[in-house]
Amino acid sequence: MNKSILKAFGVSDNQHLINLPQHEKHLIQKDLLKDWNDLVTLAREHGIKIAPISSYRSFEHQLKIWNLKASGKRTLLDDKEEEVPFNHFNLNKKEDALKLIHTILRWSALPGLSRHHWGSEFNLIDETIFETQPNYKTELIPSEYEEGGPFYKLGEFLQNHLKDTAFFRPYELDLGGVAREPWHISHRDYSHQMLSQITETDYLAFLDLYGQELILRETVVDHLDSICERYVFNINRD
């Protein structure tokens, strides 16, 4: 499998990535740094101090997230952002295994098929919240970005001004796949380029090489066509 495909699936030497200024634990595809800086500058003009709470994730990182959720060791949420007890799923039943996969996919991507593998994706908060609420703990739920929420001003900025930048929100609306994520921005041109490289055939070959530890792997493989259609390619594109 060539390096370009592996990079799209989150396996690489990271030579194409650099640290974000002032947020050194976060990585960005190096060619996108100017566009990021332009976004930060525009936000500051509107009184917002943009900061990433999540950015690049490797395949291994996403695999850990997935397996924790698929084994009941990390909270599962339903469409209303309410916790779903893990014991609701009898994984000896194929239909329950598939239901669990769909529950996870509403809020977390399959390892290898996460947009966060590309260095073009960022989950954003507004750091000005800490000036008045220094102990605030971000939840990354839509209500935080709606009227009355701590990041409402950021949500309004992204709604009204993101179109003037190189970024867009792939999950701005709930299209029945990934739940609405008003905090998630994506570099438009680069992410479209990366998404165009993803094929189900390549992903199946990738799983054979790297996905042996993926919990629910057999069910994922059996339903990969519908999973990709609903959760990978089904995005807001502008």
Q: What is the pLDDT of residue 113?
A: 98
Domains and CATH numbers, the chain: 3-18+40-232 (3.30.1380)
Distance of CA 82 to the CA centre of its chain: 19
Contact 98, 230 (CB under 8 A): no
Q: What is the pLDDT of residue 32?
A: 98
Q: What is the pLDDT of residue 177?
A: 97
Q: What is the pLDDT of residue 197?
A: 95
In the chain (238 residues long), the average pLDDT of successive 10-residue segments reads 94 96 95 98 98 98 98 94 94 96 97 98 97 95 95 98 98 96 98 97 97 98 98 93
Q: Which residue's structure tokens are 């050194």?
A: 24
Q: What is the pLDDT of residue 215?
A: 98
Q: What is the pLDDT of residue 238?
A: 74
Q: What is the pLDDT of residue 70?
A: 98
Collapse the DSSP code of 123 into the 3-class scheme (helix H, G, I; strand E, B; otherwise coil) and give the result.
strand
Q: What is the pLDDT of residue 237?
A: 86
